[in-house]
Each structure stands twice: as C-alpha cells, then as structure tokens.
Amino acid sequence: MLVLPERPRRNRRTEAIRRLVRETSLTPAHLVAPLFVVDGDRERQPIPSMPGYERLSIDLLLEKCRQLADLGIGGVALFPALPAYKKDKTASEATNPDGLFPRAVSAVKEQVPELTIFTDVALDPYSCDGHDGLVSETGEILNDETVEVLARMAVLHARAGADYVAPSDMMDGRVGAIREALDVEGFHNVGIMAYSAKYASAFYGPFRDALDSAPKFGDKKTYQMDPANVREALREVRLDLAEGADMVMVKPALAYLDVIRAIWEISDVPITAYQVSGEYAMVKAAAERGWIDGDRVMLEILLAIRRAGADVIFTYFAEEAAQQLG
Ligand code: PBG
C-alpha cells in the first residue's frame, strides 16, 4: 500500500459525504425562465429550432407562469413576438402603453405575483431593421437617440409591473438614463438588471427565429462585444455599476465562464448569466440523437454556470431543471 498523507478520494466515499462537502448549489430559486408572448387566444406556436419551446398567448402564458411558480422558479424574463406589420423604423410599438407586452407584464404581475418579472429593454423585437437601436439613413446604429426611447420603454414596463427592467441593447449610457427616468416617475423600487457583457455571438440564432428579429442588414458588432475580450467586460460592468445597475449579466453563459468569474472578482452586485437559445438547442439536438444524456448534461452545465460565479441563471431549461431538482 502507498503511504499517502493525502487521499482526496476519502471525501468522495459516500453520497452523504459528497453532499456534505459539495461547494456549489443549484435550486429552482436560482433560475429564470425566458418566455415569448404572442397576440391571440389559446395560441401556442412551437419554435422549430428550440424543441419543446413555444410562443404563447397571454392566457397560456399565465398557465405556464403558474406552473413555473409552483416549481419554485425564481422569475420569468418576458419577450414579445410581434408580427411584421407591427414593426417599423422607429420601433414605435415599443412605447405603446396598450401594446401586447405591457398587457402581458400586468397580467403576470397580477395573477402570479410570486414570480420576479424581468422585462427586456431593447428595440429589436419592434424594429423592422432587426437591430437593438434606431438606425440612421446611412445604416449607423444611433446611440443617444436609442437611449431616449429605452428610458421611456423602461418606465412603461415599470408601470406595467416589471420588478427589473433589463436593458439588453449594449448602448452606452443607457443604465444611467433608465435609472433617472424610473426615479423621476417614482419607480425607485424597480431594479435594473443590466446586460453588461453581452457578446456578438452566433449562439443567438434560435432566439432570432423565435422573434423573427435577425438584423436585416449587417451585424451587431458595433454594439455587442467581441468574443475575444474579457477586460472590456470589466469596463462595461464598472460603467453599469456607476450608473446604478442592481444586477449585471454575462451572455451567453457556457462559452464565457471565465468572464463570469472575472466579473465575480470585481463586482459586489448579483451576477446573472444567460444560457442562450443556441446553448439550449445544442443540448436538445444531441440528446434527441441519443448522443448525450440530455438531463444530466443540462444539470451539469447549469451547475458549472453557478460554480463560475453566477447567482441567477436565465435558461430555457428552467422548467425541466426544476422538475429534475424536485
Ligand atoms: C436582443 C436579445 C437577444 C437575445 C435576448 N435579447 C439576441 C440578439 O442580440 O439578437 C438572445 C437570447 C437567446 O439567444 O436566447 N435584445
């Protein structure tokens, strides 16, 4: 027998010991389910590139939210899917107080109050250009003009019942402008969950199918971040914190665990990670073929995102993971 001063396997000997020494926890309370809402009645539209995921009309959205709350899930992130005729150059539907989106937010707040509601503040679901900002005649994404619209949008979401507004557009200065607009209107208790480090990623494909929101020209690289950069993410976080962000986000998640960890080292607000549509689709596709055990891979990835330092995870697996976690 070897004489070994240390045998790490001793602490892995039984399930009870493993549970005692486990460093990271994953519970439904950490999870937020993104949900897509469409106009209509009993309307359920499957999204082919996101197996098992559907766009739902408000009545069905409420049923889904009730189930998620009963599973102990922490919150929902709501996104509107609009028909092409409601989209225009100025994203005017984004600030329509009678629009589908504020109606959906109010309904969820009223019927399922125990869910924390995050609302997406960006123009892409409303813009015929498919960009997160307003576009000039020469094709430039206009920062300051966009921020003005985002601030009005955030107030509309707060009035409808959002707990956190979540600017996902990566315009400069939007967190400060939104904070000020919310405070002026008396919404001191509505938080800002800033998509601080959002990368120009190929993992967003299925989401753009879900909302029919792919950019009609060019790409999003003048506002979303270069996947090569991590120090730049720290800069974005520093600015968003100075402007009053209550939580910061890294997006996507799995390919950016180092970014989550780097932010964890410097930030004193909760960190959210968004496991995006392409990450979900990859697991689903491989599991469908029997190449991986989908449930185990799902839980392993979510745990890894928590281990990297995320407090909250936005994930299309929220419901399935909560069921598994029991
Ligand atoms: C844009 C937005 C995107 C997602 C959420 N909000 C993607 C984009 O930049 O087109 C992606 C989410 C996902 O892929 O799951 N405001």
Amino acid at 131: H
**pLDDT tens profile 41-68:** 999 999 999 999 999 999 999 999 999 9
CA distance 323 to 326: 5
**What atom in ligand 1 is closest to the CA of residue 316?**
15
Residues in the ligand 1 pocket, defined by CB under 6 Å? 120, 122, 124, 132, 168-169, 204, 207-208, 213, 220, 276-277
Q: What integer pLDDT is reported at residue 13 of this predicted model? A: 98
Ligand 1 test: best mutation among 50, 120, 124, 284, most atoms within 8 Å of CB?
Answer: 124
The H-or-E segment that residue 308 falls in is helix 294-308
**Encoding tokens for residue 237?**
């976080």
Cα–ligand 1 centroid distance for 274 (angstroms): 10
Q: Tell me if residue 18 falls in helix, strand or coil.
A: helix
Ligand 1 test: best mutation among 208, 216, 249, most atoms within 8 Å of CB?
Answer: 208
- Tell me which residue has its CA closest to atom 7 in ligand 1: 204
- Tell me which residue has its CA closest to atom 3 in ligand 1: 204
Beta-strand relationship, 54-57 and 44-46: antiparallel
Phi, psi dihedrals of residue 222, rounded to the nearest 5°: -85, -10
**What atom in ligand 1 is closest to the CA of residue 169?**
16
Q: What integer pLDDT is reported at residue 304 of this predicted model? A: 98
Cα–ligand 1 centroid distance for 18 (angstroms): 37
Average predicted confidence (pLDDT) for the chain: 97
Contact criterion met (CB below 8 Å) for 241 and 248 = yes
Amino acid at 308: A
Q: What integer pLDDT is reported at residue 205 of this predicted model? A: 94
Beta-strand relationship, 247-251 and 54-57: unpaired
- Tell me which residue has its CA closest to atom 5 in ligand 1: 168
182: pLDDT strictly greater than 90: yes
Give the catalytic positions in this structure.
198, 251
213: pLDDT strictly greater than 90: no
Cα–ligand 1 centroid distance for 272 (angstroms): 15
Contact criterion met (CB below 8 Å) for 275 and 252 = yes
Q: Which whole number is the average pLDDT over 87-114?
A: 97
Quickly list DSSP for 65-97: HHHHHHTT--EEEEEE---GGG-BTT-GGGG-T
Q: What integer pLDDT is reported at residue 282 of this predicted model? A: 98
Give the confidence band of 210 by pLDDT, cuts at 50, 70, 90.
Answer: confident
Cα–ligand 1 centroid distance for 197 (angstroms): 12
**Which long-range contacts link 44-50 to residues 24+ away (Cβ below 8 Å)?**
45/81, 47/206, 47/209, 47/210, 48/209, 49/205, 49/206, 49/209, 49/210, 49/277, 49/281, 50/206, 50/207, 50/209, 50/210, 50/277, 50/280, 50/281, 50/284, 50/316
Q: What integer pLDDT is reported at residue 132 of this predicted model? A: 95
CA distance 122 to 257: 24
Q: Which whole number is the average pLDDT over 162-188?
A: 98
The number of CA neighbours under 13 Å toward the Cβ of 257 is 10
